[in-house]
Each structure stands twice: as structure tokens, then as C-alpha cells.
Amino acid sequence: MNTESSLLHYDDLVGMETRDNGEGYVVVQEALPNIECTYIKQDMIPLYGEKMYIRASVAERLEKAQQILSDMCPTWKLKLAYAYRHPDVQQKYFDERLKEMRIVFPDADELELIRQAHLLSASPDVAGHPTGGAIDVTLTSPEGEIDMGTAIADFSDSMKIRTFVEGLEHDQKKHRLLLRNILIEVGFAPFDGEWWHFSYGDKEWATYYEKEFAIYGPLKIEGV
């Protein structure tokens, strides 16, 4: 079983080189019909409707993860709440956070402001979602979403969303570790600051696994 890892911060990621391998992307709902997809945030709806996009190798790994989950819990499924994010949307979120940090830390230099803003919304130069390699995912069953201790993408308690936070009920901890271990088994890197966030191919994945470089850079998928 994998144990808790240190959270990666902006300084850990910014120096990682990217050599995009040019891999294409797929629509999750078309490539993986056995995986549920429901946006929580509505920011991609104006561009793509309900479609979610991920890189082809991410889809392959999600398919393997679903197979493992089905073998263990036959009625359970992976459920995506977010996948690809257009770089312009990522930039918008980050700019909003940066503006807030200028007020909170009026004497901080630009680098420190970026570090602080990144804690709330990933800086576009290191963000995973715009690469098509990052996903926000939970577990669901015919009875509804599995109890993970918080709802997916619920930021109302910034500590409780950490994977290894103290005070979780036994089953909540077990469910988080089940999701984490399955996705690590098929090659994803976890971000333990948000129990639902995993990635493959981006800077966080490359840093977590001590790769020489990331294989995915930002994509610009125009509205389709």
C-alpha cells in the first residue's frame, strides 16, 4: 500500500521540462462508456457541452483502472467530474487568485504571489488540466457516490480534502485509498492535497515519479 507523500508545490514543478509527445485526445464519453462523466464546474460547458477530453494514454489507463475496480467491486464505477481545461480558463482562474493574493500579501514579490496563488489554483505554466493529462475522479455505485469524506471538488474545508487528513471514518479512508491505489497501479500520480485529483504525463506526474521531463504540454482544443 502506498503511503502519504509530500505535497508538491509551485517550486517543485516549475523547473520540470516538458517535451510534448504530440499524442492525441479522445472524448471520454465516447472512448469509455463504462465511466460516468458529470461536470461539477460549468466552465467547459460553453465550449464543449458535456463532452470531456483527455489524452489517449490517459483513457487507456482509466479503462484499466475501471477493470480493476470492477473486479474488486462489480457494481462500482469511476466517475469523472473534470478532465481537460482550456488554457484560457486556467489563466482566468489563476489571474483571479493572483489578484486576491496582491491584497492579502501587499508586500510580497511576484514570485511569492505566484506561489501563494498556486495553492488555490494551479499556475498555468505548471497546471495539469490544460494538458489533457489530469482528472478529477471519484467512485460511484447504483446507490450513488461512494462516501469519500467530502464531496468531490468541495473546497469548503481545505484540510479535509487532503487524502490523508486525520479524523476520517474507517470506510472513508478505505475508499480514498482504494481509489488512490488503483490509479497509481495503472500509472497515475496522485495529488494528495485533493483526494480526487490524479494525473498522467504532466509536470506533476513527471515530478512525482522523478522523470526527466513531462510528456504533455497544454492543449488548445477549440470549441467543437
Residue 1 pLDDT more than 50?
no
Question: Is 65 contained in some domain?
Answer: yes
State the pLDDT confidence band at 3, using cuts at 50, 70 and 90.
very low
Decide: 4 and 184 in contact? Cβ < 8 Å.
no
Instruction: Give 155-201 pLDDT, tens digit per residue.
Output: 889 899 999 999 999 999 999 999 999 999 999 999 999 999 999 99
Question: Is 93 contained in some domain?
Answer: no
Model pTM above 0.85: yes
Question: Is 224 contained in some domain?
Answer: no
Q: How many domains does the chain have?
A: 1
Question: Is 74 contained in some domain?
Answer: yes
CATH number at residue 48: 3.30.1380.10
Question: Is 20 contained in some domain?
Answer: yes
Residue 127 pLDDT more than 70?
yes
DSSP string, 98-112: HHHHHHH-TT--HHH
Question: Is 115 contained in some domain?
Answer: no
Instruction: Give 136-167 pLDDT, tens digit per residue.
Output: 999 999 999 999 999 999 988 989 999 999 99
Tell me the residue ranges of DSSP E strands in the chain. 25-27, 36-37, 53-55, 77-82, 134-141, 144-145, 189-190, 197-199
- As a whole number of angstroms, the distance between CA 120 and CA 198 comes to 16
At residue 2, the pLDDT reads 36
Mean pLDDT of 212-216: 98
Question: Is 101 contained in some domain?
Answer: no
State the pLDDT confidence band at 68, using cuts at 50, 70 and 90.
very high
Domain that holds residue 27: 10-83+132-208
Question: Is 73 contained in some domain?
Answer: yes
